[in-house]
Amino acid sequence: SVGVVTAGKDGFVKIWSTEMVLLEEYNFAQVSPVPLCPGIAALAVDEDATKVLVGTESAELYEIVTNSRHCTRLLTGHAGTGLAGRSGRGVCTSTGLSPVNNDIFASGGEDCTVRLWSVAAFKELSRLTVKKPVQALTWNKSGETLILALGTTADEPCGSVVSISIDYDTRVMSSTQVLVKDTWVSKPVEVNITTDMSIVMLAFSDKTSSLYRTETGEKIPAEEAPKVYWPKQRPSPAVPNS
């Protein structure tokens, strides 16, 4: 059975068993149609590991069906300045399916936008511009809120974690609320929030992680970290380290 799915800037997506035996390998320099930049910038897997959602550095989104080995380009989306392959920065940084609606997934990018998409219709449903590049995202348990980890800019050295509310009837994203604001050297690659939305976890590209209280935005010292419960993501977004 499938245990782990990995991907990287070399453009390869690899599917491993629970015993870490390589089951399948996909070279995105050879898929059709070939992406402009085949390096993988974002990866997400459904609960049964039957479908893999892949975001490339050139902002194209592909779906791999693991049972049939079928790979289909679904969308082209986030834009950026310069070639992502040369700059080393992926313009699409994170993806994730809604935990309550199988047709809707979200994506974030270095173009400072977060977008909602329809899987069935292959189209963008909604777009919201934020102040900084989106480095990672996740859904809360109810699927009514997106949690974004935003990077730093030349004008603003502090990163932040913000919440975005979603109206499923109108597909409108709004009500940005800053949960955490801090200075971090390494890029956030994963964000998660507890089921009661009281604590945010950030994982960084230097393989460190931090916990923050959303009520105050303060960082929790490691020795004071409480026992917390994280919602089960469908799929759990993952962004390769730079």
Confidence class for position 156, pLDDT limits 50, 70, 90 = confident
The CA-based angle 232-237-240, given to 5 degrees, is: 140
Distance of CA 181 to the CA centre of its chain: 19
Confidence class for position 238, pLDDT limits 50, 70, 90 = very low
Each residue's pLDDT tens digit, 3-27: 899 999 999 999 999 999 999 999 9
Domains of the chain: which residue ranges?
2-75, 92-224
Q: Of 101, 49, 109, nearest to 75 (Cα)?
A: 109
Each residue's pLDDT tens digit, 111-132: 888 888 887 877 788 889 888 8
Mean pLDDT of the chain: 82
CATH class of 92-224: mainly beta
Other CB atoms closer than 10 Å to residue 167's CB: what's the count?
Answer: 12
How much is the pLDDT for 230?
Answer: 62
Q: Of 179, 171, 169, 170, nearest to 138 (Cα)?
A: 179
How much is the pLDDT for 125?
Answer: 86
For the chain, the residue count is 242
Each residue's pLDDT tens digit, 184-222: 878 888 899 998 999 999 999 898 999 999 999 999 998
Does the reported pTM lie above 0.75?
A: no
Q: Which residue has the tokens 């599917």?
A: 15
